[in-house]
């Protein structure tokens, strides 16, 4: 067993309620990759190795519980057109499907690894990664295998959109049949883009079919819902006990009340509203009603090509009126809950020793210094 003592932590956010907030002048000991001790630097035990952070603030490594990092191609022209007034409807997904199918496995892997490194370089230590840019059996399996090389949190999103050239009923039969069967061994989760407002995505009944089949195949559930308009996605996610319902941009009072009454996490993706110039989800309304909220990047080539969790925190604070503490919690513990993980998202004894070290004296700088690369992942 090797132990590692980290000293010189100017401010340490653990999410351990016993401390009643961040610890000042703190230290942390990890043993074999797990937190073994946290407390005031003056009381720190000795260890085999030592690292001095010279007063840096530390928060739990970010848990980015919603990304689409395996894809080929580029949609910067679509982004530019959108900034000039074109509305996002999901149509660009098929552009990425075509380029992804035409990109070699080595190139997909190189892009994926580059993005994972980019995320770590901004403090992310846990990532969920979805398929959904293959939409045929062979490519969906390839994307999930690649995702599985970098994370255990892999999500089958064959039900992203109905690809052209196949009718809806036929595609639903494929996604709930042979494609699911081929993909399930490579995925922990299943997801569906439930958005009746988009002609390409899935309505409530179709999404139910997809999720019920996925659950029967042993996958846990998460749902893309209520991104472009109000709809049945949130209620469906709750009915089926999904761990997380993501986007939640357009919610009715009944949706908010039902979420508050459930164990399902509302995962908000403010980078999407930023990059599609859309109204932000009403985080304040959800939090005040008692909904558990997570923040994630949704990094994808269409609606938000950013891996930066600090940017999501800054947007949540500036645009969605979350406090900085709420936003940091949502980007760490909230993401962990959205992935049903109790070993990440906090730095209590027993957690994985996954840290985000800030080149700053306080966690507040994550929102106070937008666009400045102050966070780096450190896994002990
Ligand atoms: O989460 N909404 C559906 N899927 C992605 C966007 C995918 C794309 O446009 O390529 C999202 O926003
Ligand atoms: Fe998404």
100 lines ligand 1 (CB under 6 A): no
What are the backbone angles phi and psi of residue 377, rounded to the nearest 5°? -75, 145
**DSSP three-state, residue 88:** coil
Centre a 10 Å sphere on the Cβ of residue 200 and count the other Cβ atoms it contains. Answer: 17
pLDDT digits (tens, 9 = 90+) for 162-208: 999 999 999 999 999 999 999 999 999 999 999 999 999 999 999 99
Measure the CA–CA gap between 307 and 132, rounded to whole angstroms. 18
Exposed, middle or buried by CB within 10 Å (0-12, 13-18, 19+), for 154? buried
Residues of the chain with pLDDT under 70: none
Q: Of the candidates 138, 140, 174, 170, which has an alpha carbon nearest to the alpha carbon of residue 157?
A: 140
Give the E-state strand segments of 257-345 in sequence order: 265-268, 293-295
Pair 27, 38: CB distance under 8 Å: yes
Q: Which of 78, 87, 133, 193 to mutate to test the pocket of ligand 1 (most atoms within 8 A of CB)?
A: 193
193 lines ligand 1 (CB under 6 A): yes
* Beta strand pairing call for 23-31 and 34-40: antiparallel
pLDDT number for residue 12 = 98
298 lines ligand 1 (CB under 6 A): yes
Pair 198, 204: CB distance under 8 Å: no
Measure the CA–CA gap between 219 and 342, rounded to whole angstroms. 19
> Could you give the C-alpha distances from 349 to 14, 21, 35, 38, 340, in angstroms and in order?
9, 16, 5, 7, 18
10 lines ligand 1 (CB under 6 A): no
Q: If you take atom 5 of ligand 1, which residue's CA is the nearest one?
A: 303
pLDDT number for residue 91 = 86
CA of 92 to the centre of ligand 1 (A): 9
Strand partners, 49: 4
Q: Is 93 left (phi over 0), alpha (psi -120 to 50) or beta?
A: alpha
Domains of the chain: 3-61+345-379 (2.30.40.10), 62-338 (3.20.20.140)
pLDDT number for residue 77 = 96
300 lines ligand 1 (CB under 6 A): yes
CA of 304 to the centre of ligand 1 (A): 8
Measure the CA–CA gap between 380 and 259, rounded to whole angstroms. 36
What is the layout of strands, in order, in the sheet containing 49-60? 34-40, 23-31, 3-12, 49-60, 354-358, 375-379
């Amino acid at each position: 067993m090797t132990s590692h003592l980290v000293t010189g932590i100017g401010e340490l956010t653990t999410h351990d309620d016993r401390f009643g907030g961040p610890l000042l002048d703190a230290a942390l000991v990890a043993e074999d990759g797990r937190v073994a001790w946290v407390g005031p630097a003056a009381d720190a035990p000795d260890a085999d190795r030592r690292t001095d952070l010279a007063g840096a603030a530390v928060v739990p490594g970010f848990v980015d519980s919603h990304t689409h990092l395996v894809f080929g191609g580029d949609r910067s022209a679509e982004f530019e057109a959108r900034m000039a007034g074109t509305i996002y409807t999901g149509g660009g997904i098929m552009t990425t499907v075509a380029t992804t199918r035409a990109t070699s496995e080595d190139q997909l892997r190189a892009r994926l690894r580059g993005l994972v490194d980019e995320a770590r370089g901004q403090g992310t230590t846990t990532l969920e990664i979805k398929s959904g840019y293959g939409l045929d059996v062979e490519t969906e399996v390839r994307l999930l295998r690649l995702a599985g090389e970098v994370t255990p949190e892999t999500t089958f999103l064959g039900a992203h959109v109905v690809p052209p050239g196949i009718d809806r009923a036929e595609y639903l039969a494929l996604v709930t049949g042979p494609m699911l069967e081929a993909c399930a061994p490579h995925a922990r989760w299943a997801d569906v883009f439930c958005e009746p407002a988009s002609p390409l995505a899935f309505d409530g009944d179709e999404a139910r079919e997809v999720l019920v089949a996925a659950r029967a195949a042993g996958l846990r559930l998460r749902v893309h819902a209520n991104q472009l308009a109000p709809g049945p996605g949130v209620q469906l996610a709750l009915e089926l006990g999904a761990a997380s319902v993501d986007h939640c941009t357009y919610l009715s009072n009944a949706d908010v009340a039902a979420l508050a009454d459930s164990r399902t996490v509302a995962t908000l993706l403010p980078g999407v509203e930023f990059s599609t110039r859309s109204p932000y989800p009403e985080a304040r309304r959800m939090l005040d009603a008692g909904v558990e909220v997570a923040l994630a990047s949704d990094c994808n080539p269409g609606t938000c090509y950013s891996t930066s969790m600090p940017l999501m925190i800054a947007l949540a604070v500036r645009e969605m009126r979350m406090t900085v503490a709420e936003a940091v919690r949502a980007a760490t513990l909230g993401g962990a809950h959205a992935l049903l993980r109790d070993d990440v998202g906090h730095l209590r004894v027993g957690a994985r020793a996954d840290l985000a070290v800030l080149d700053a004296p306080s966690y507040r700088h994550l929102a106070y210094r937008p666009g400045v690369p102050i966070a780096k992942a450190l896994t002990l």
